[in-house]
Amino acid sequence: MTAALKSVGTGPLARRSFLGLGLGAGAALALTACGSGSSTSAAGGSTGTVKWGWALPTSWDPIFSSAGWDVHDLSLVYAGLTKLDPHGTAVPALASGWTYNAKGDEITFTLKPGLTFSDGSPIDATAVKKSLDRGRTDPKSLVSAQLVHVAKVTASSPTTVVLSLTQADYQIPNLLAGKTGMIVSPKAFESNAAGLATQPVGAGPFTLTSYTQNAKAVLKRNPTYWDAANIKLQNFEVYPLPDASTVIASLQSGQYNVAQIPGSQVAAAKAAGLEVQVIPSLVVAVLDINAAKAPFDDPDVALALQYAIDRQALLKTQQFGYGTVSNQPFPPGYVGHDPASDNLYPYNPDKAKALLAKAGHANGLDVTLTTTAAEGVPEQVQAQLKAVGINAKISVIPLAQATQIVYVQHSQQIFTDQFAGRDSAAQAFQVLFGQQGLMNPGRSTPPDLLAAVAKVSATPLDSPDYPTVLQAATALAVRSMPNVFLYTVPRILARHHSVSAIPSDLVVQRFEGVSVG
351 and 468 assigned to the same domain: yes
288 and 437 assigned to the same domain: yes
Is 307 within 8 Å of 352 (Cβ atoms)?
yes
Instruction: Give the three-state DSSP class for 147.
Output: helix
Query: For the chain, how many structural domains are there in total?
Result: 2
433 assigned to some structural domain: yes
What is the helix (H) or strand (E) element at residue 236, kind and residue range?
strand 235-239
Instruction: State in Å, rounded, how far the first CA of the chain is from the last one.
Output: 35
Instruction: Look at residue 19 and tell me whether its pLDDT is greater than 80.
Output: no
Question: Of 161, 190, 219, which residue sits at a domain end?
Answer: 190
Is 493 within 8 Å of 258 (Cβ atoms)?
yes
Give the model confidence (pLDDT) of 417-441 as tens digits: 999 889 999 999 998 999 888 889 9
374 assigned to some structural domain: yes
Q: Which amino acid, 46?
A: S
Q: How many Å apart are CA 153 and CA 183, to the nearest integer?
A: 13
Is 323 within 8 Å of 9 (Cβ atoms)?
yes
360 and 471 assigned to the same domain: yes
Spell out the residues 6+ positions from residue 146 whose beta carbon is closer than 8 angstroms to its own. Answer: 175, 180, 424, 427, 430
337 and 462 assigned to the same domain: yes
Instruction: Look at residue 27 and tell me whether its pLDDT is greater than 80.
Output: no
160 and 304 assigned to the same domain: no
Give the model confidence (pLDDT) of 303-322 as tens digits: 999 999 999 999 999 999 99
117 backbone φψ class: left, alpha, beta (φ>0; ψ -120 to 50): beta
261 assigned to some structural domain: no
The reported pTM is 0.85
Give the model confidence (pLDDT) of 147-168 as tens digits: 999 999 999 999 999 999 999 9
Q: How confident is the model at residue 68 (pLDDT cuts 50, 70, 90)?
A: confident
Q: How far is CA 365 from the centre of its chain?
A: 34
**DSSP-H helix ranges across 99-246:** 125-137, 172-175, 186-192
Q: Which of 275, 285, 358 is nearest to 20 (CA)?
A: 285
317 assigned to some structural domain: yes
Domain of residue 484, residue span:
284-488
170 and 307 assigned to the same domain: no
168 and 305 assigned to the same domain: no
183 assigned to some structural domain: yes
403 and 300 assigned to the same domain: yes
Q: How confident is the model at residue 404 (pLDDT cuts 50, 70, 90)?
A: confident
**CATH value at residue 450:** 3.10.105.10
Q: Please, is 275 exposed, middle or buried when counting C-beta atoms within 10 Å of its C-beta (0-12, 13-18, 19+)?
A: middle
Question: Of 146, 168, 190, which residue sits at a domain end?
Answer: 190
Q: How many Å apart are CA 506 and CA 53, to the nearest integer?
A: 19
355 assigned to some structural domain: yes
Is 49 within 8 Å of 235 (Cβ atoms)?
yes
Q: How many Å apart are CA 399 and CA 467, to the nearest integer?
A: 36
Give the model confidence (pLDDT) of 87-145 as tens digits: 889 999 999 999 999 999 999 999 999 999 999 999 999 999 999 999 999 999 999 98
Mean per-residue pLDDT, 183-211? 98
Which pLDDT score is estimated for 408? Answer: 81
Which pLDDT score is estimated for 2? Answer: 34
Q: Which amino acid, 322?
A: Y
Mean per-residue pLDDT, 243-252? 95
How many CB atoms are closer than 10 A to CB 343?
9
Instruction: Look at residue 9 and tell me whether its pLDDT is greater than 90.
Output: no
32 assigned to some structural domain: no
Mean per-residue pLDDT, 18-36? 31
Question: Of 165, 190, 215, which residue sits at a domain end?
Answer: 190
Which pLDDT score is estimated for 87? Answer: 86
**CATH value at residue 101:** 3.90.76.10
503 assigned to some structural domain: no
177 and 288 assigned to the same domain: no
Give the model confidence (pLDDT) of 441-498 as tens digits: 999 999 999 999 999 999 999 999 999 999 999 999 999 999 999 999 999 999 999 9
Q: How many Å apart are CA 186 and CA 145, to the nearest integer?
A: 21
Instruction: Look at residue 22 and tell me whether its pLDDT is greater than 50.
Output: no
What is the helix (H) or strand (E) element at residue 153, kind and residue range?
strand 150-157
